[in-house]
Amino acid sequence: MPNIGVNTVSSKLQLPVPFVPTHQRLTSQDYFRVFQYTPFDDLPQQLIPLRSHLMRAPLMHCGWTMDRLWKYAEDNGFVHSTATEVFSEEELDGEEPPPISESFVIDEGQCMYNALEDLAAKHDMEDILDFIRIERIVRDGKGGFISLYTNYTRKRAPPAEVIERLRIALGEEEGPKWYLDSFRWHWEPKPVLSFGGKSSGRWRQIDLHFWYVTLGKLRLAPQLSDKCYSPSSRSKDRPNHNNIQMRTSR
C-alpha cells in the first residue's frame, strides 16, 4: 500500500521556468518543457502561494489522471457518443463499425462525473464527492483529472484515510500526485485592483493542453470544458459547460 501523504511539501526541488517566476517572455521551448516534467510526489515549496508575492503562482492539482475512471465509465455505460450524427445506422451495425473517437463523446466532464458518483455509491464513500473536482491538466494524453485539492486549497484537503479509500476504489497503484493546471500553468502578475476593488488590467489564459496537442502535435485535444465539475453542484444548478480552448477574464 502506498504511503498517502496530505499536504507534504518539498523544499529540495530545483525547478525550471515556468515553474519559477520570470520577467522574460515565455518561449515555445518553455511550453514544451512543461510537458516533459514528472508529476511531483510532494508539492514544491516554491509553488505555495504567498499573499506577499507580487506574482500569482501556477495552479497545481493533487490527484489522479482519469485513465482508470474513463475505463470504468466505458465499462458501465457512462460514455455517450454522438457517432450516430456522423455515421449511418448501416455503418454502425456493420461487421466492422467505424472507430469512435473521443471527439464524438458528449460532454466528457459530465460523463466522468456521473461515473464518479456511481463509483462512490458502490463503495459507500459519497463523502469524498464533497472534495473532488474534475479539472484539466497539462499532460501528453487525456487532459482530464480527478482533483482532490490544490496548492491554493491545501487547508481544505480531504483526510488521508478518505484519499486511500478513493485510491482503492479507482484501482490506482500509487498515491495522488501534483499536476499542473492546463490554464493557470505559469507565474503571472497579480491583477492590480483600482478603487472599488475592480481589476484595472486584463490577461489571457491559454489552454496549454489544447495548444500542445493541436499546434505541437497536430492532433485534436480531448474535449474537456475549461469549467470544472463540483459534486456540490446538482444538475439543475450547474452552468452550461461549453468546450472552450481560450478564455479571457478580468
Q: What is the pLDDT of residues 146-174, one digit of tens each?
A: 999 999 999 999 999 999 999 999 999 99
What is the domain range of residue 142? 15-190+204-249
75-124 per-position pLDDT tens digit: 998 887 655 445 555 655 655 655 555 445 567 778 888 999 999 999 99
Look over the chain and give the mean of its residue pLDDT values, rounded to a whole number: 72
Report if residue 238 sits inside a domain: yes
In the prediction, which pLDDT does 200 show? 45
* pLDDT value at 25 more than 90: no
Kindly report the pTM of this predicted structure. Answer: 0.68
Read off the pLDDT band of 232 (50, 70, 90). Answer: very low
Report if residue 3 sits inside a domain: no
Report if residue 6 sits inside a domain: no
Residue 150's DSSP bridge partners are 61
User: What is the spatial distance between Cα 47 and Cα 99, in angstroms, rounded to a whole number?
Assistant: 42
User: What is the spatial distance between Cα 118 and Cα 134, in angstroms, rounded to a whole number?
Assistant: 15
Report if residue 97 sits inside a domain: yes
Report if residue 107 sits inside a domain: yes
User: What is the spatial distance between Cα 247 and Cα 207, in angstroms, rounded to a whole number?
Assistant: 8
Structural domain total, the chain = 1
Sequence-separated contacts (24+) of 1-7 with Cβ below 8 Å: 1/164, 2/167, 2/173, 2/174, 2/175, 3/175, 4/160, 4/163, 4/164, 4/167, 4/175, 4/176, 5/41, 5/42, 5/160, 5/175, 6/157, 6/158, 6/159, 6/160, 6/163, 7/43, 7/154, 7/157
In the prediction, which pLDDT does 187 show? 86
Report if residue 1 sits inside a domain: no
% of the chain at pLDDT higher than 70? 57
213 φ/ψ angles, rounded to the nearest 5 degrees: -75, -20
Between 212 and 124, the more confident residue is 124
